[in-house]
Amino acid sequence: MTTPDATPAPAKPRVPFWDNARFAAIVLVVFGHAIQRLTYDSDAAEAIYLLVYAFHMPLFALVSGYFSSATKTTRKHLARVITDLVAPYVIFEAIWTLTQFLVTGRTNLDPAQPAWTLWFLLALALFRIVLPYLALLRGPVWWAVGISIVAGYLPSIDSTFSLSRLLGLLPFFTLGWWLRTHDVVARHGLLDRRPLWLRAVAAAVLTGAGVLAFVFVDVWSEVRLGTWFFFVDAYTDLDAPSWWSGAVRLAIIAVALVLMGAFLVLIPRRQTSWTRLGTSTMYVYLLHTFVLYPFRQSGVLRGLEPMWLWIPLVAVASVAIAVLLASRPVRRVFRPLVEPRMPWLFHDPALGGGRGSRQADARPPAPSEPAPTRDLSRRARPRRSSDPAPEPEARPTDPTRRASGTRPSRRSRGHAGQ
């Protein structure tokens, strides 16, 4: 059941920190996908890959949860699940199916199995549907953690409709929503300027995690730690059918929270030259795979030497790709695909405005004919016997009355002067 739509309050100004965090996170996404082919030939690339994947998608989940609501279930918010997430998913799923057919000659159009990065759109759509029910529970964050751990024990929960990733990342979604609901960020001044020592500690945490990933890279490869970070497979599929496997996922959740905290400490709080790019991360997320696909499939990223040169080059290229795809010309060209407007889909066409539209609930109610008013400035009093008898009111001549004496219809009388 949805709540009735109402005229929304004026939009609050954007907080630069969150846009900075979004853009930094999407750069990590591009970099993680770009460096993946280098991991076959370099332990250093493998260590960086593990470091990035340990927290970059949990970070996206947390930020998405922070800007989600469990109470705003108006028609507009429900429609935006379709226009902002489901519609782009269907569009890009079809494009990827066609691309794979043109490249490989094979195709498998199965919307239940998302192609490459599209799983996050489905997971986010399902989370927004589940969140109002999860918010009814006492301690929703702990429930989400328990659901994530238990889901790994159930082999029947797989990547169909991104269900395994939805449940695996549910603690981060829910934590982000909880932080916003309880105003934790503002009450504890988490967006205030950070002291130098705190930034040094955050940098040390990330550096230390990278060093551990490099030193024990063979161990992590043997236990398939990178696959654990995907939150896709059941524990039995990860060669960890033991009862304590849930503790491993709990440890991964804890490590992700620590690394996310360190990463967010280093994010600038002020307006920067790249803050505005954080408002267009959906374009980068959906389009960067088409830029990387030829390089990944052609094998040009294999056997590159020396790695101390190629890893920084790939990092710089990842930043450039993110900047390019978030630019205004690219947004203008691909807006119909990334932010489709679908007024034809809804009973109320205003609901199909897409991500850029905020007008669905802002329209005033449809005008209606005003009710006749009475002059209340004079209060009626009982007629006295000494008062003269009232004269009958003269009826004005109706110019629209026909010669036959019939009166015009109510509609013609009501609109005769318009």
Question: Is the pLDDT reported for residue 10 higher than 80?
Answer: no
18: which residues sit within 8 A by CB, 6+ positions away?
A: 63, 66, 67, 278
% of the chain surpassing 90 pLDDT: 67
- 380 versus 59: the higher-pLDDT residue is 59
* 290-to-60, 215, 278, 294, 352 alpha-carbon distances in Å: 21, 33, 20, 8, 27
> Which pLDDT score is estimated for 240?
84
Q: What does pLDDT average to over the chain?
A: 84
- 77 versus 26: the higher-pLDDT residue is 26
> Which pLDDT score is estimated for 367?
40
The C-alpha atoms of residue 196 and residue 187 are separated, in whole angstroms, by 21
The 10s digit of each residue's pLDDT in 134-145 is 999 999 999 999
> Which pLDDT score is estimated for 111?
87
pTM, to two decimals = 0.81
The C-alpha atoms of residue 32 and residue 51 are separated, in whole angstroms, by 9
Contact by Cβ (8 Å): 416, 401: no
- 113 versus 405: the higher-pLDDT residue is 113
> Which pLDDT score is estimated for 416?
39
Is the dihedral angle over the CA atoms 327, 332, 337, 339 positive or is it negative? positive
Please tell me the least confidently modeled range out of 4-18, 73-87, 177-191.
4-18
% of the chain surpassing 70 pLDDT: 81
Provide mean pLDDT across the span 328-334: 97
Provide mean pLDDT across the span 327-331: 97
The C-alpha atoms of residue 2 and residue 74 are separated, in whole angstroms, by 5
Query: Any idea of the CA torsion for 205, 267, 119, 313, to the nearest 10 degrees?
Result: -80
Question: Is the pLDDT reported for residue 78 higher than 70?
Answer: yes
The C-alpha atoms of residue 269 and residue 76 are separated, in whole angstroms, by 31
Provide mean pLDDT across the span 373-396: 47
- Return the HEC string of the chain: CCCCCCCCCCCCCCCHHHHHHHHHHHHHHHHHHHHHHHHHCCHHHHHHHHHHHCCHHHHHHHHHHHCCCCCCCCHHHHHHHHHHHHHHHHHHHHHHHHHHHHHHCCCCCCCCCCCHHHHHHHHHHHHHHHHHHHCCCCCHHHHHHHHHHHHCCCCCCCCHHHHHHHHHCHHHHHHHHHHHHCCHHHHCCCCCCCCHHHHHHHHHHHHHHHHHHHHCHHHHHHCCHHHHCCCCCCHHHHCCCCCCHHHHHHHHHHHHHHHHHHHHHCCCCCCCCCHHHHHHHHHHHHHHHHHHHHHHHHCCCCCCCCHHHHHHHHHHHHHHHHHHHCCHHHHHHHHHHHCCCCHHHCCCHHHHCCCCCCCCCCCCCCCCCCCCCCCCCCCCCCCCCCCCCCCCCCCCCCCCCCCCCCCCCHHHHHCCCC
Please tell me the least confidently modeled range out of 53-62, 139-148, 177-186, 407-416.
407-416
CA 79 distance to own-chain centroid: 14
* 321-to-30, 50, 159, 335, 392 alpha-carbon distances in Å: 8, 21, 28, 17, 84
Provide mean pLDDT across the span 370-384: 45
Please tell me the least confidently modeled range out of 6-10, 70-74, 223-227, 341-345.
6-10
Question: Is the pLDDT reported for residue 271 higher than 50?
Answer: yes
Question: Is the pLDDT reported for residue 326 higher than 80?
Answer: yes
The 10s digit of each residue's pLDDT in 155-213 is 999 999 999 999 999 999 999 999 999 999 999 999 998 999 999 999 999 999 999 99
- 405 versus 241: the higher-pLDDT residue is 241
**Angle between helical axes of 56-66 and 43-53 (0-180°, round to 10):** 20
The pLDDT confidence band at residue 405, using thresholds 50, 70 and 90, is very low
Phi-psi region of 272 (alpha: psi -120 to 50; beta: other; left: phi over 0): beta
Contact by Cβ (8 Å): 14, 276: no
Question: 347: which 2 tokens?
Answer: 């009973």
> Which pLDDT score is estimated for 103?
87
- 376 versus 125: the higher-pLDDT residue is 125
Contact by Cβ (8 Å): 185, 65: no
The C-alpha atoms of residue 100 and residue 150 are separated, in whole angstroms, by 35
> Which pLDDT score is estimated for 357?
54
Contact by Cβ (8 Å): 266, 202: yes
